[in-house]
Amino acid sequence: MGLTPSTRICAVGVSCTLSRRTILDDVSLELAAPVTVLLGVNGAGKTTLFRVLAGIVAPSRGTVTFTSPGRPTRPIADRDYSVGYLPQSPSPVRGLRVGDYLEYFAFLKHLPRQAARDQIGELLAVTGLEAERRTPTRRLSGGMMRRLALAAAVLGSPTVVLLDEPTAGLDPEQRIRMRELVREVGTRAPVLVSTHLAEDAAHVGDHLVVLHDGRVVRDQPMTHAWAGSGPDAAAVEQLFLAAVRQDDA
């Protein structure tokens, strides 16, 4: 569907049990544009939540739906909606160059040929990969591979975009570039982005969700993270620690 800025993805009472362990426990959240940051310690359940929101893993309980004004609430499998997903460790594909990789994703997403051509050109420019169009994906640096996978996730103008640790392992310059990209993507669709870095969270987020032991322990706007002239990573860190300690107490 054409992107409606007020389209939302909603999780209601989502629980997920894997190998008899409760990984997500009664998670409810609503994602709206532009960018929601998901913070959580290692093993908090962030990737599992992404996989549930992307429809890859079925929740044991609860629902994930899309809502748009004037339209009935739809399940995530509804073909009028789509999810763009950047996994935690995107891999190069042997034999595919950068341009081929995007064409392959455009094919998987059933994009008409001309729309695919236009969007691939635009996304290569936005991600700074224009000069790499003919580079084999195996030769890309980690940061370039993530930018390419992000372009693939955004192809076809998905209704919502899920980015699992897009800045992990990137050098400072690539991280700053990735943050700008995340903000850019947030102008196109609601974005959920996970990170371990309070600094990244402060720079990109409009809204903050803290996940701890599979439960949402904080869900609030990020306004506090802007101190005077700019984003304040220390404020985000304090908020995160307070939420987690309160939950542990």
Ligand X SMILES: Nc1ncnc2c1ncn2[C@@H]1O[C@H](COP(=O)(O)OP(=O)(O)OP(=O)(O)O)[C@@H](O)[C@H]1O
CB of 194 to ligand X, least distance (A): 7
CB 151 within 8 A of CB 126: yes
Q: Helices 98-108 and 113-126: crossing angle, nearest 10°?
A: 130
CB of 142 to ligand X, least distance (A): 16
Tokens read off for 238: 């304090």
Closer residue to ligand X, CB minimum distance, 207 or 212 = 212
Report which of 122, 179, 130 is spatially closest to residue 154, judged by C-alpha positions: 122
Residue 14 three-state SS: strand
Site residues for ligand X per CB under 6 A: 18-19, 21, 23, 40, 42-48
Closer residue to ligand X, CB minimum distance, 48 or 119 = 48
What CA–CA distance (Å, rounded) separates 88 from 85? Answer: 9
CB 147 within 8 A of CB 129: yes
Q: What is the full DSSP assignment across 109-123? A: TT--HHHHHHHHHHH
CB of 46 to ligand X, least distance (A): 3
CB 161 within 8 A of CB 154: yes
Closer residue to ligand X, CB minimum distance, 46 or 179 = 46
CB of 190 to ligand X, least distance (A): 20
Closer residue to ligand X, CB minimum distance, 19 or 229 = 19
CB of 6 to ligand X, least distance (A): 29
Closer residue to ligand X, CB minimum distance, 42 or 114 = 42
